[in-house]
Structure 1
């Protein structure tokens, strides 16, 4: 039994990371994000959203597998939205989990950045 407790403790202590896979669909950059967006992983998302030198960037962030997002993620999304808008492009969020959707709604990001229930809808609009 002590061995099972050690295994549970070890897995609980493992750092949670963030995975970002970038693809393109019809000229739209799709970032599929999985894991937690917080102060430990935010730089990774910030780099993935960088559009420096891109004319009229179009980006969809697929958030279907994001399990947690704090103010770091909110700030990164707002900053990216501003940069993309200034470059005459757009940023959309797709399929946020219920917990992430609540955060987006609480701070009003869903009013600033278009949120769609599915990736397909975010790409089609």
Structure 2
């Protein structure tokens, strides 16, 4: 990523069909997710999204490389959204693929969680 102020934390996880790369920019935690989010890979995403003990967490999930997401992924996103907003922070999704955007729309999650067409737009305070 060539975003200004972006710091790679060097934390990359890959289990089966999912990879999660964590970075930070201007106090915003950015997770770049690639592959499939389902019941087999959900725990990996949930662990990467853990904000326990973080005051006012600000999180952006870059989803431009997510090829599939089922109800497990939706449940994780909604739970994280609730946890982050309860702590006074926010969760945003950046560049969800058409198939992921469709799933978000079908269950109404796109009305709950801010979705942005690009990572750059999701990072704007």
Query: Same fold, TM exceeding 0.5?
Result: yes
SS in 1 for 2:32: strand
Q: Distance in 2 between matches of 1:62 and 1:70?
A: 17
RMSD of equivalent CA atoms:
1.1
The structure with the largest alpha-carbon Rg is: 1
Q: How does 1:98-117 map to 2 (within 5 A)?
A: 98-117=98-117
Counterpart CA distance in 1 for 2:85 and 2:60 is 13
Equivalent pairs, count: 111
What is the match of residue 86 of structure 1?
A: 86
Give the match for residue 32 of structure 1: 32
The TM-score with structure 2 as length reference comes to 0.87
Runs of 4+ in 1 over 6 A off after TM superposition: none
- Going by fraction, where is strand more abundant, 1 or 2? 2
TM-score (norm 1): 0.87
Unaligned runs of 5+ in 2: 1-14
- Aligned equivalent of 2:54: 54
Alpha-carbon distance, 1:16 to partner? 5.0
Which structure has the highest helix share of the two?
1
CA offsets, 1:11-52, max 9 Å, x none?
Answer: xxxx95100000001000000000000000000000011100
Structure 1 runs not aligned, ≥5 long: 1-14
